[in-house]
Structure 1
Amino acid sequence: MNHDFHQRPLSAAEARVLGTLMEKARTVPDSYPLSLNSLQSGCNQKSSREPVMNLGEADITEALEGLRELSLVVEISGSRVPRFEHNFQRAAGVPEQSAVLLGLLMLRGPQTAAELRLNADRWYKFLDIGSVEAFLEELQERAEVKGGPLAVKLPRAPGAREQRWMHLLCGPVDTAAFASGAAAAPASSAADSALAERVETLEATVAELQAQLADLREQLGVSQPGQA
């Protein structure tokens, strides 16, 4: 196992880049490893992201360099366009299920075990919420000799029924701030939830198609519309 990974917390941009590579490796394997254009589109997409970010090419290049130093990202040579893939599981020394949960937490922010199971559907199909909780607890109780905990269970927020989980890849979390935070929004109706899920799926599909189109333009040497 590579212990460089545990030397420092990730920046917000590094976490977004890493999480996006982990997502696209599972959801659009035909487009993976990702070019810089595709990676930028994935990092900045408005669906399945919390918070929504607007990272420039320089931000992503800097994040990639930092992740490569930690052995979390590898640049693939042999293609005219540089491509990048993550090395998270090997560097962190965690099983696939734990990597999936950490990737989702990096991309979507704090979530309950039930939300994680639902959001993981395109990445990995967990048998039940209990199995999600078991892997989360394993991440929370991870021994110091292995690098210490990678996730934490947050105190129950006012008005919330379930406790949420958060990753620790960007450093320690002020759990007290979450405990005294604003009350959670009331649960949506089943119809609202189903509609939101359909819209999110469509937005993610459009974002992936846009990334593939940008990738194709890059390979063909065709400029983006509106560019000289």
Structure 2
Amino acid sequence: MAIRPLSPLEARVLGTLMEKARTVPDSYPLTLNAVVSGCNQKSSREPAMQVSESEAQQALDELKRLTLVFETSGGRATRWEHNFERAYGVPGAAAALLGLLMLRGPQTAGELRIHAERWHRFADISSVEAFLDELQERSEEKGGPLVLRLPRAPGAREARWAQLVCGPVDASALAMDERPAPAPAAGLLARVEALEAEVAALRAQVAALAAPR
């Protein structure tokens, strides 16, 4: 049976559990406080969120109802762990890609391979693309596609991929929303030219001092 589309908050909570299970296994399963901190990280999150404890708890309760997370007892605090691979029927490598897309938004296969370094080490970009293709071609019997390859934006070298765990996306809008990395040309060239001029002046001074009198 297909799992209903998740809300952005539910996806952030679930993605956070998936990330911490792989990157900080000694601290996993997570307490509610750790879930909130992970959701509100300033790095590796797109978009940034400010999730309260009550909002995170509500999301965890709903994810538990969907069997996407489990509550575990250990110590004095209740802890939470995800059940993503089993619930969606995907292997760990594919789950790592989906978790990254849930936490960081649309990315290229190359970006996913770099960002997945601490989650799962992919041999090359081709292996990332192979898992993405499988997720995109997932049959309706298994719940349907979980990712979508977006149209390549004008001037972009690679197409980005978006997750469908939160439901259908506007592919054209997401593709056009891609912002190319700012070109370093003007400022960087100016700095390089200034440094080269300074080096040339210093060399001239050294040569003048070294010249026989």
TM-score by length of 1: 0.78
**Sequence identity percentage:** 66
* Corresponding position of 2:117: 121
2:178 and 2:128 map into 1 onto residues whose CA distance is 26
Task: Provide the residue aligned with 1:89 in structure 2.
Answer: 85
The root-mean-square deviation of aligned C-alpha atoms, in Å, is: 1.7
Could you list the per-position Cα deviations for residues 26-81 of structure 1 after superposition, in whole angstroms to 9, with x for gaps in the alignment?
Answer: 10000000001111111101011011110001110111011001100000024310
The answer as to whether partners of 1:158 and 1:182 remain within 8 angstroms in 2 is: no
Matched residue type, 1:95: P
Moved over 6 A (4+): none
> Where do 1:141-156 residues align within 5 Å?
141-156=137-152
Q: Which residue of 2 aligns with 1:185?
A: 181
Are the counterparts in 1 of residues 71 and 81 from structure 2 also a CA contact under 8 Å?
yes
Q: Counterparts of 1:182 and 1:49 in 2: how far apart (Å)?
A: 16
Letter aligned with residue 104 of structure 1: L
Is the CA contact 2:160–2:175 (under 8 Å) kept in the aligned structure 1?
A: no
Q: Secondary structure at the match of 2:127?
A: helix
- Indicate how the Cα distance of structure 1 residues 98 and 186 shifts in structure 2: closer, same or farther if over 3 A, else same: same
In the TM superposition, what whole-angstrom CA distance separates every residue of 1:105-162 from its partner, at most 9, and x where no partner exists? 0000000000000000011100000000000000000000000000000011122111
Partner of 1:49: 45
The answer as to 2:171 corresponding to 1:175 is: yes
Determine the structure 2 residue equivalent to 1:62.
Answer: 58
Between the two structures, name the one with larger relative contact order (CA 8 Å, sep ≥ 6). Answer: 1
Which segments of 5 or more consecutive residues in structure 2 lack a partner in the other structure? Answer: 189-213
Q: In structure 2, give the amino acid aligned to 1:128.
A: D
- C-alpha displacement at 1:185, in angstroms? 2.7
1:33–1:136: structure 2 CA closer, same or farther, 3 Å change rule? same
- Cα distance in structure 1, aligned partners of 2:163 and 2:99: 9
Contact 2:19 2:99 in 1 (8 A): yes
Q: Distance in 2 between matches of 1:181 and 1:138?
A: 25
Contact persistence 1:158–1:181 (CA under 8 A)? no
Which residue among 29, 35, 38 is the counterpart of 1:33?
Answer: 29
Q: Which amino acid aligns with 1:119?
A: H
Letter in 1 for 2:77: V
Separation (CA, whole Å) in 1 of partners of 2:178 and 2:34 = 36
Distance between the aligned counterparts of 2:176 and 2:73, measured in 1? 49
Q: Secondary structure of 1:166's partner?
A: strand
Q: Partner residue of 2:10?
A: 14
Contact 1:151 1:168 in 2 (8 A): yes
Residue matched to 1:136: 132
Q: Distance in 2 between matches of 1:40 and 1:183?
A: 29
Partner AA of 1:82 in structure 2 = T
Q: Which has the larger radius of gyration?
A: 2
Structure 2 distance, partners of 1:67, 1:187, is: 42
Shift of 1:84: 0.1
Letter in 1 for 2:84: F
CA distance in 1, matches of 2:160, 2:172: 13
CA distance change for structure 1 residues 112 and 187 in 2, over 3 Å: closer, same or farther? farther
CA distance in 2, matches of 1:50, 1:159: 22
Count of residues in Structure 1 that have an aligned counterpart in Structure 2: 186
Q: Deviations over 1:167-195 (max 9, x none)?
A: 00000011121243365234679xx9xxx
